[in-house]
Amino acid sequence: MIKRVILFCCLILVAAIANATDSCNECHGNRQRMESLGAGGFTVTRLETEAQTHMPVTCSECHLGNPDATEKNKAHAGLARLLVVSKKGLAVITSARRYPLAYDTNPMNRMFPVTGKNGKQVRDASVAAISWHDKKIDTLSQDFEVMRRTCGACHQKEFDEFSKSTMATNGKQSQYKGWISKDRGPHNCGPWFEGNLESMQANTMLPMSPESNRINQKVCNSCHVGCLDCHYKPQKINPADPNSGPHTFMKTPPSESCYGNGRASICHAGPEDRRRGAGYFGGSFSFPEGNDPDVHLKAKVGCLDCHESSKSNLSIGHGMVKRQAQDSCKRCHADVVKTHATTIHRNLSCEACHIQRVAGYQGTYWGPGYIAGAATPYFKYKAYYGYMPGPVLIRDQSGRWIPVKPFPMAVMNQKTSPFKPGLYWRYPLGLPDLKRTDDAWGYVGLFGNLPENNNALLWIQMDKVSHKLGKSRSCDSCHETTDGSQMQKVTWEYSDPGAFTFNGSHEVLANRNGLYIKGMQSEKIELEKGYALSALAPWVYLKDAWQIQGDFSLPVIIDRGKYDLLKNNHDSSKKFGLIHK
């Protein structure tokens, strides 16, 4: 008993000494002092941070700085702090903030910087984005040295594994070395600009400044993750819950963290709800806003419940997440998976039937424009947002039918192209699951006949859509035509820079002869000053150029009479082995 008392007293003494020499706690833990400095909103006590982080660490162990110094500038020297990114040049704002982050109820933009205006706190309109302190101020990319000294100091194994992961190394996107990368082809997200300026300039008909190249890369970097993007979940202080606040951490990353955790449409929100148009969350994350979410969201099935990670398989390595998740379906739907394998539709992926109404990009064009105030030959005119009633089905590399959303793409002012027209796969089938995707693309050609921005490299983006699972599509949505052709009528609205908002439409036709994007039309386009129509809407001049050859038709129904009898009778369809039980 005496030993326990002595030990307890020693711990109190150690804590007292630590607090006595910790200028962070002396200042930020004293509300009266912080308010006298005009920074009352940044008051936080050691007890609050420990309750929210669930970690017995000091301020400096996470934020660095100099806790032994008593003078503000010296104590803040080398401090790792929130990165507030300006719209101008995407530069980090280094001046001290007067207010902490504010919080809203919109899950896509639930946190944002504020500034003072007319005595009130309002959203800071000069800010383009916010990022955490494990990113570099100059590039917005991951700062592995800061991670090593902070998170990695206590979690060395996890840091070592994460630093080698696909997410940490930007392992997928960095493989796109330019628009004419032979291994991967051109991509909707654009190329990896860092380290590729010279080679890209050699094939670009317009000058590309190092500054515009650097800013383009910053846009890429803002989506790629550090430790805090997954495990840090700041939120409004809740007096009833001491675990909630601006220092809240989550051991297992919540699904929201995969979607940027309330910092706009970044991380997987961009590829899923914007580009593929069939995201998990939908709702406010979808473009146009309000598309249906995945049925599993309501059932509270999270990303890591389906996608294998170190949570379910320690050997996979911290920070690695297996993209392919089809094997996880049988954990909850064992009978369905078993009976599906015996049906005539056994070569269809689950998503092929259970995804409808895909939103997001319905066209994207890279041409001259301005990004963060700098002129660039590569601005992404992406806001052709709209709906395709259902995805188009194509055979993947193993012969399985998968759903894709074909949409037209172009990058202007290219000198040459090494590709031949046709269908390509981003990654070969032989690669392990952790290193490949099931995404396809179709090369169209290099086209002229534009008034400017000639030599437009055209392709059809065909990413596999995997989320937004729900009620199965109807039989007629695939088999209404007698020749197996697929037709989807697409409507969209353009709302990016360069022109006043306008509406338009096109059709996607897939048949035994090829894949075609045809009938592109819109309202009259009114350009903004300084923009060319060929940069943001080259389809006006190129019309129906987006097409590739190949058999993209579905199997033809031989006995249409039997089909008509069974298509609306699920019990009979199950009995005859047409659909799963």
* Token pair 């392919």 in the structure block, residue: 324
Q: Is residue 60 part of a domain?
A: yes
Q: Does any domain span residue 403?
A: yes
Cα–Cα dist 225/9, whole Å: 43
Per-residue CA distances from 447 to 31, 206, 339 (Å): 65, 16, 49
Q: Among 45, 69, 93, which residue terminates a domain?
A: 69
Residue 232 has which token pair? 């840090």
- The DSSP annotation for 367-401 comes to EEEEETTEEEEEEEE--EEEEBSSPEEEE-TTS-E
Residues sharing a CB contact under 8 Å with residue 30, sequence separation 6 or more, in sequence order: 43
Residue 454 falls inside a structural domain: yes
Residue (of 458, 460, 461, 518) closest to 485 by Cα position: 518
Which of 69, 87, 116 marks a domain boundary? 69
The pLDDT value given to residue 13: 38
**Looking at the domain assignment, is residue 311 inside a domain?**
no
pLDDT in tens, 420-478: 999 999 999 998 888 889 999 999 999 999 999 999 999 999 999 999 999 999 999 99
Element (H, E) at 297: helix 295-298
Q: Could you list the residue range(s) of the whole structural domain that residue 500 is in?
A: 350-560
Residue 568 in domain: no
Q: Which residues of the chain have pLDDT under 70?
A: 1-21
Q: Is residue 137 part of a domain?
A: no
Helices in 90-243 by DSSP H: which ranges? 144-149, 151-154, 156-162, 197-202, 210-221, 227-231
What total number of domains does the chain contain?
Answer: 2
DSSP SS3 for 111? strand
The answer for residues whose C-beta is within 8 angstroms of residue 287's C-beta and 6 or more apart is: 265, 273, 274, 277, 359, 360, 361, 383, 385
What is the reported pLDDT for 570? Answer: 86
Amino acid found at 179: W
**Pairing state of beta strands 120-123 and 114-117?**
antiparallel
- Side chain identity at 88, as an amino acid letter? K
Q: Domain for residue 240, yes or no?
A: no
According to the model, what pLDDT value does residue 251 have?
A: 94
Q: How many helices (H) and strands (E) does the chain have?
A: 24, 19
What is the b/e burial string over 185-224, where b = at least 16 CB atoms within 10 angstroms of the residue's CB? bbbbbbbbbbebbeebbebbeeebeeebbbbbbbbbbbbb
Please tell me what DSSP assigns to residue 41.
G
Helix, strand, coil abundance in the chain, percent, nearest 5: 30, 20, 50
410 assigned to some structural domain: yes
